[in-house]
Amino acid sequence: MKGTRVMITGATNGIGLQLADTLLSMGATVYGTGRSSGKLQAIAESMAGRSGTFVPLLADHSDLSSVSAMLSSLSSHTDVLDIVVNNAGIHYGLPMQSMHKDTRSATNGMDTLFVTNYLSHVLITEKVLPMLNRSKMEKPRVVQVSSTYHWISDGSLLRPNGPLPPFASRGSELEKPFRQMHLSYGDSKLAQLLHMHAVNRMLEEESSKVAVVAFCPAWVGTGIQPEGVARQVTHALAHQPEQGIHALLHAALHPDISRGDFVGNTNVVSYLPFKEHWLISPFQFQGFHLRDNLIDTFAMLMMFVQKFNFGAFVQETSPESKDQELQDALHKWSLRAVSEWL
Ligand SMILES: NC(=O)c1ccc[n+]([C@@H]2O[C@H](COP(=O)([O-])OP(=O)(O)OC[C@H]3O[C@@H](n4cnc5c(N)ncnc54)[C@H](OP(=O)(O)O)[C@@H]3O)[C@@H](O)[C@H]2O)c1
């Protein structure tokens, strides 16, 4: 990895931090983003003894102007990248919590989670493609850290509606009183896959060697689980970040991984029968999305099973992720949304 230049978003905790640590031990130069200058500084100091170099990049991914400033700073360090890992992400909380408390929020009028998980990475990907094209690697790539939870989104809230932006992107709480916190996450993770396919088709036309691929860690005990019992349970039962990056390294480095592959530490979900029917059903009881809690109960079971089905698997993605018309509609809208910074 000596001489390999890797950008990792959200490198200050969990999966991103573990990946940075591992790649630095292997000699890579890691450009790591984070929203806390204190955390970035502490990581730079603690990684100083590694054979690679850590370059801290301050960016709040919920704010596109902050991401744009970070990209300017990146270009003062390098004009070539080999691998970009779009990892920074948040979750609004457990479905059960949404019965009592809505933790969704808006930044600059847009949904904070949508911008953090998806739109900030659209801006980054579109801006760094020329840097990846200059790589000497045989297959430079972008890895979208997505999730199996993309299966819970039918994509309808990602479709722009005439002049109106996609519902999932809107920051006004009042506009979407029925939306569950969990579905916001699924929408953002499906959006990442739709963007991957749209960019890949463009790269194909340009005969570029760059590939966009995706990854799902399955359950890994990190900072994304809400504090309290949920975090304690997950941290006790799920994989540790060391195991959680197993298939991520495969997605980022293995020569056999192709454009559009969705690589996971487990492929348990691939065995679920008729998942395209029941995972995305809008089943509600008195306005309460019972479906979300059923899915989370099922996902808890997956936490046990993933230990017996661990490796690096190219997994199936939802039918919605392959909808070319939706890919193009969202891509076109997203490019307009970030155009100020392109
Ligand atoms: N853990 C799992 O079981 C799991 C499963 C499926 C998918 N994923 C995906 O894996 C990715 C990494 O999550 P994780 O599990 O490692 O969670 P994590 O421990 O919470 O790490 C998330 C990282 O993103 C950063 N981040 C969040 N919001 C940000 C913002 N506005 N600006 C800049 N940085 C921001 C965090 O920074 P701070 O250090 O400042 O918080 C942290 O470095 C996410 O995309 C998540 O959706 C995780």
Structure token pair of residue 150: 């993309």
CB burial of 131-160 (b: ≥16 within 10 Å; e: otherwise) equals bbeebebebbbbbbbbbbbbbbbbbebbbb
Cβ–ligand 1 distance for 213 under 6 Å, the answer no
Q: How far is CA 104 from CA 115, 223, 237, in A?
A: 12, 18, 27
Average pLDDT over residues 233-253: 96
Show the CA angle centred on residue 110, arms to residues 109 and 115, nearest 5°: 145
The ligand 1 atom at the shortest distance from the C-alpha of residue 117 is 45
Please count the other Cβ atoms lying within 10 Å of the Cβ belonging to residue 171.
Answer: 18
Please give the Cα distance from 180 to 236 (Å, whole number): 27
Give yes or no for residue 285 having a pLDDT over 70. no
Show the CA angle centred on residue 71, arms to residues 68 and 74, nearest 5°: 160
Helix, strand, coil abundance in the chain, percent, nearest 5: 50, 15, 35
Task: Say which residue, 333 or 229, is predicted with more confidence.
Answer: 333
Give yes or no for residue 322 having a pLDDT over 80. yes
Task: Judge whether 220 and 150 are in contact, CB under 8 Å.
Answer: no
- pLDDT tens per residue, range 135-166: 999 999 999 999 999 998 999 999 998 889 99
Cβ–ligand 1 distance for 10 under 6 Å, the answer yes
Domain span at 116: 5-341
Q: Residue 95 — pLDDT band, cuts 50, 70, 90?
A: low
Task: Average the pLDDT over each of 86-95, 107-116, 172-181, 319-328 and give the range with the smallest value.
Answer: 172-181
What is the CATH classification number for the domain harbouring 225?
Answer: 3.40.50.720
Residue 44, phi then psi, degrees to nearest 5 = -55, -40
Give yes or no for residue 296 having a pLDDT over 90. no
Q: How far is CA 93 from CA 21, 149, 179, 202, 218, in A?
A: 27, 14, 13, 35, 17
Q: Residue 279 — pLDDT band, cuts 50, 70, 90?
A: confident
Q: 19, 21, 35: which to mutate for ligand 1, most atoms within 8 A of CB?
A: 35
Q: Residue 192 — pLDDT band, cuts 50, 70, 90?
A: very high
CA of 100 to the centre of ligand 1 (A): 24
Q: 15, 62, 115: which to mutate for ligand 1, most atoms within 8 A of CB?
A: 15
Cβ–ligand 1 distance for 39 under 6 Å, the answer yes
- pLDDT tens per residue, range 124-138: 999 999 999 999 999
- The total domain count for the chain is 1
User: With pLDDT > 90 as the criterion, what percentage of the chain qualifies?
Assistant: 76
| pLDDT for the residue numbered 288 | 61
